[in-house]
Chain A
Amino acid sequence: MSHHIVQAENLAYTYPDGNNALKNISFLITHGESVAIVGANGAGKSTLLMHLNGHLLPGKGSLRIGDFPLTKETVHNIRRSVGMVFQDSDDQLFMPTVYDDVAFGPLNMGLPADVVNERVKSTLETVGVLHLINRPTHRLSGGEKRSVAIATVLSMSPDILVMDEPTSNLDPKARRRLINLLKSFKHTKIIATHDLDGA
């Protein structure tokens, strides 16, 4: 399979304030790989992840995701194939109920209502929180929020999952559950973490 690859060549990025966050990074991640990005605070992990969903465009060098090199024109296609789970679940869950939030992506992709309905239920079941389906998102616990946040991304059936510190702020049990859940996914996974067990 060649079309789920992520390839960076001499990728570099400097923030407008002069902070040189990425310096000539090159790597190749092929289909189905699980890759952990480990580094100290401020090492540039988040900056790299921001490139993977096209929020930041390469300053120098190039990034290829799937069939597309990352440019302004291809960014929409890339966002469809890359599912991004944010560090703070409150940022990710912006709709009033769990159902609406998980349905948000598929509805934007233009899927018909019954398919969306089916997808919402099956993804919530996958992450094990189907019972939360009608709850308001701001009343969930931290672990529940994280699970739902992952479901919101999975419901778009991305090829590549990108996660920013998915195990942060979780208690050991929730963390263990999450790690097992991630193991069961067949997607290409790119995970920035400080959790060396999880890595």
Chain B
Amino acid sequence: MDLLSYQDTPLHKIDPRAKLITALFFILTVVSFGKYEISMLVPFIFFPVYLLTSGNIPVVYILKKILYVSPFAVMIGVFNPFFDQGVILQVGNTGIPGGWISFLSIMMRFALTVSTALALISCTGFNNICFAINRLGAPKIFAVQLLFLYRYIFVLAEEAARMVRARNLRSFDGKGKGIKTYGPMLGNLLLRTINRAERIHLAMICRGFDGNIRIMKKYKFGLRELLFVASWGSLFLLFRFVNIPQFAGNFITGLFV
């Protein structure tokens, strides 16, 4: 994913802060709808689609990632159809219960917000988002933690994978793979992690670390950023308070009456 963030499209050049603010505002407006809202959510698809296309990000790749995390959203909404059976929408002769509507609404919100978050990371880079968070006034420690989490999660995963491989090579007939070895392995991984943390801290101190991560400023919050935030922000407000699909529907049916 972060390889995608090293591209050079106009979208990549926009200050991460502008993109972060816009995306947060997008998520807030999408989440703020009532639980049976479907039609008004539709126009919001514009924003993630815009990010994906102008950021030159492969759509299939993002869709796959959304699919990976979708079980969480499904688990949240899956019981709605059972508990909420009151019919609130009539299509022809069949009544659609409110539970299904709210389930669909949850899934749409999930798809919109997650695709936006993924697109944001792909067109900005995780580290730039961390710095944006920091410069927007979030506690320094929070940004630094996120940054280090992202840097070392790969190292940790590799270390864990090596341990698992070493264990598998010496376990036979299901012996040695049980829960009994998991405890010591996890403990061992924790100790290795602590040791590594100490070495990293030492490396940081050696290079003059004093609690502040200083970083060269590569971006400027200029007119372009202001326009980006303002135009998308006002568009979201429009989508939020004006029912565009209904308006369009009325307009089109109006043509034929």
Contact = CB atoms under 8 A, between A and B. Distances in A.
Interface of A: 53, 55, 79-80, 82-84, 86, 88, 90-92, 94-97, 99-100, 103-105, 107-109, 113, 116-117, 134-139, 152-153, 156
A138 B6 contact: no
B151 A79 contact: no
B208 A108 contact: yes
Contacts of A84: 203, 206
Contacts of A55: 202, 205-206
Contact of A152 (B130, B202, B207, B212): B207
A86 B199 contact: yes
9 contacts: A53-B206, A91-B202, A95-B151, A104-B204, A108-B207, A108-B208, A139-B3, A153-B207, A156-B208
B209 A97 contact: no
A96 B216 contact: no
Contact of A96 (B126, B196, B203): B126
B66 interface: no
Contacts of A92: 203
B105 to A, nearest CB: 37
Interface of B: 2-3, 6, 125-127, 130, 147-148, 150-152, 154-155, 196, 199-200, 202-210, 212-217
A100 B150 contact: no
Interface SS, A side: helix
B206 A79 contact: yes
B207 A103 contact: no
B207 A105 contact: yes
Given A79-B208, A105-B208, A138-B155, A94 B216 contact: no
Contacts of B126: 96
A109 B204 CA distance: 13
Contacts of B200: 91, 94
Contacts of A100: 127, 215-216
Closest 3 CB pairs of A and B: A108-B208, A96-B127, A105-B207
A163 to B, nearest CB: 12
B208 A80 contact: yes
Given A53-B206, A79-B205, A79-B208, 12 more contacts: A79-B206, A84-B203, A90-B196, A94-B151, A94-B203, A97-B127, A104-B207, A109-B208, A113-B216, A134-B6, A138-B154, A139-B3
